[in-house]
Amino acid sequence: MHLYLPPHSFHPPGVLKGLIYGRVMKFRIQNSKFADFKNCCDQLLLQLLDRGHSRETLQQLFDEAVERLDTESRHKDTNQIFLKLPYKPGTDRSEMRKLFCFDNLVEELNGIGITKATLCYKRPRNLKDLISSTGRNSNPRQTDRLNIVKA
């Protein structure tokens, strides 16, 4: 059963939009043939129609999702790097950029072919992570390193 949100639920409208955008992007990544991609999108459209959504609303959201996917694929940076820092409350992103001379670093990275650099944060592990682990860690060494840093 495909129990997607019905149209009369009290969720914000962005939830349906996010569902469609996310699924369309997933379908595109998983299907190299356009016919398979279109078939998956058609199936999702039918499932949402069965839940009671209007065809006009869905068609508009699907069109926007496909257009956004096409735009992003044309502008996608293939040489991108993410610089991850542990998050600490009270840290300011602009201060961190200054501290690491991030703008100069980006220029240097451009010199070796990296076209985009992103400074991002990783939140520290919390009590919920320790009590109810809901997945496997793809990098077991990373967990060990975090425990060493905390100790």
For the chain, domain boundaries: 13-74, 77-127
Calculate ∠ Cα 19-24-25, nearest 5°. Answer: 100
Q: What is the pLDDT of residues 101-122, one digit of tens each?
A: 888 887 888 788 777 777 777 7
Residue listed under structure tokens 């990275």: 109
Q: What is the pTM of this model?
A: 0.51
Residue 143: per-residue pLDDT: 45
**pLDDT for residue 141 is more than 60:** no
Q: pLDDT band for 131, please (50, 70, 90 cuts).
A: confident
- The tokens describing 141, both together, are 């060494």
